[in-house]
Every structure is written in C-alpha cells, then in structure tokens.
Amino acid sequence: MTEVNRRCREFRRAFLLAGEGTHAGSHPGACAECRAFVDAERSVGGLLRSHAPRWRASDQLRRRVEAVLHRHRSRRLLQRRALLAASIALVAGGGLGWWWLRADGTARARAACDLMAEDFLKYAPRGAEKLQVSSASAAVVEAFFAEELRLGARVPRLSEAVVLGGRRCNLGGRPAALIFLEREGPAGHQPLSLFAFEPRGEDWTSAASAPGPRPRRFLSSRGVGILVWEERGLTYALAGALDAAELASVLDGPR
C-alpha cells in the first residue's frame, strides 16, 4: 500500500467516526479525492436530515401508552407485594406461603380439567361424525396432529383400549390434540378421550397422586375422571367415566 493510499484510508475512517471533528492535518486540502469524499458525505448527511420524519405522537396515543406503562408499573408493584406477603406467610405459617404462590397454577389446572370434562361429555358419546381422522393406527393419528397442529402428540401404549381416531380440540382458546379411544368394560364399550396440549402455567401437584410407573395426577369434574401427566414438554390427560385405577389400567400395555 502506498503512503498516499494509507493516509487516505486513515483520513476517511477518522472522518466517518468523528465527522467534522476529524483532525487530519493538511491531507484533505492536498487530496482531491478525499475532498470529494467529504463533500459527498456532507451532502448525504444533509439530505437525510432535511427529509427526516418530523412525526409527533397524537395526544390520544400518548395517553394510551402512559396508561399501559401505568398498568405495568402497578402490576409489578402488586407482584412485589404478593411475593413479600408470601414470604411472610411462609415464615409465620409454614406451608401457607407455598399454597399462596401456587394458587394461580392450581386454578389454571382446575379450569383445564373442567374444559376437558365438558368436551368429553359433549363429544365422546357421539359416533364417527366427531372425527377428523378415523383410524385405529396410532401412527396415522400422530401424523395427522403433526400436520394439523404442528404438535408432536404421541399415543401411549394401551392395554385395555383401542384407538378410533382424533380431531383438533379447543381448550379455552388453546389448540389441543384429542384422540378418541374405546375400552371394553363390564357395561360394554366405554368411550375415552386423550388430550395432548402445551402447558400454560397449570400446577397439577395439588391433585391426588394416581397409580402407575410414572408421576400422574387424578382429578374429576362432573363425574368425569381425568388422569394427567407430562411427557416431552406436553401435558397429556386421559378422560373417562372411570376412577383413577381404571384409567391407569388403560395405559402402559403393549402398543
């Protein structure tokens, strides 16, 4: 690199970083190319400044933003107060603090349980018209949900039930996979619904433990028993007019 090229590069780099405050001695005065470079940069800068938008938010928008910020600050204040109250309760009342902190998650779990029970009572007794995919093959049903919901729902091993098919389900605005099963029982064919969905803060730990080789919880709503467990980032729930032991017996058999 020649001395002239080196000085040009150093000057242009310094000008871009420092602008008018560049100290480059007499170089730009002696170099026509660098003077043209400076003139071009100043022209572009002036053009951008002259056409810069001079937009000002309306009073209505400003009030809406201020209201959102105020709610955010209020919510954070409430969260800090809740954490303080929970800490005090934890020290003074033992397990009371943990119950208080888990109350929202427990309420979410109960709400999900009620929605699944309502869906079971509405759709499980119906015939083939309720199905979007009709197949006894677990692989076919799983492929349907992978395509329809982009959800890696899996049909567990079954010992006392067979797969009928499935459909897309809506749990309070949340998409879920719903797999229909059928169990041969003393009273004849008994419908079962297997739900699979992404968790949204549900805390199932307050529900009763259920039998089985893995951690499971049992809840009931409107006479519908629901067996819940988590697997590979999804929540699974098996619903039917059965108790915890009967629902558990449906699982873990040969597939």
pLDDT digit string (tens) for the chain, length 255 residues: 455 577 888 888 887 776 665 555 667 677 888 888 888 888 777 766 665 555 566 677 667 767 776 776 666 666 666 666 655 555 454 444 444 445 688 999 999 999 999 999 988 877 777 899 999 999 999 999 999 999 899 999 888 899 999 999 999 889 999 999 998 866 678 999 999 999 999 999 989 998 877 889 999 999 999 999 999 999 999 999 999 999 998 986 544
Query: Does residue 55 lie in a domain region?
Result: no
Structural tokens at position 20 = 């008018």
Q: Which domain holds residue 27?
A: 3-50
Q: Is residue 188 part of a domain?
A: yes
For residues 85 and 38, state if they share a domain: no
Q: Do 77 and 143 reside in the same domain of the chain?
A: no
Q: Is residue 18 domain-shared with residue 125, that is, in the same domain?
A: no
Residue 169 domain-assigned? yes
Domain for residue 44, yes or no? yes
Answer yes or no: is 58 within a domain: no
108, 169: one domain: yes
Alpha-carbon distance 147 to 177, whole Å? 11
Q: Are residues 86 and 198 in the same domain?
A: no
39 plus 81 within the same structural domain = no
Q: Is residue 196 part of a domain?
A: yes
Which of 201, 193, 181 lies closest to 115, judged by CA?
193
What's the total number of domains in the chain?
3
- Cβ neighbourhood burial of 201 (10 Å; 0-12, 13-18, 19+): exposed
State the pTM of this model: 0.60
192 within a domain of the structure (yes/no) = yes
Based on the fold, state whether residues 166 and 77 are members of the same structural domain: no
| CA triple 223-197-173, angle to 5 deg | 85
Total Cβ atoms within 10 A of residue 62: 11
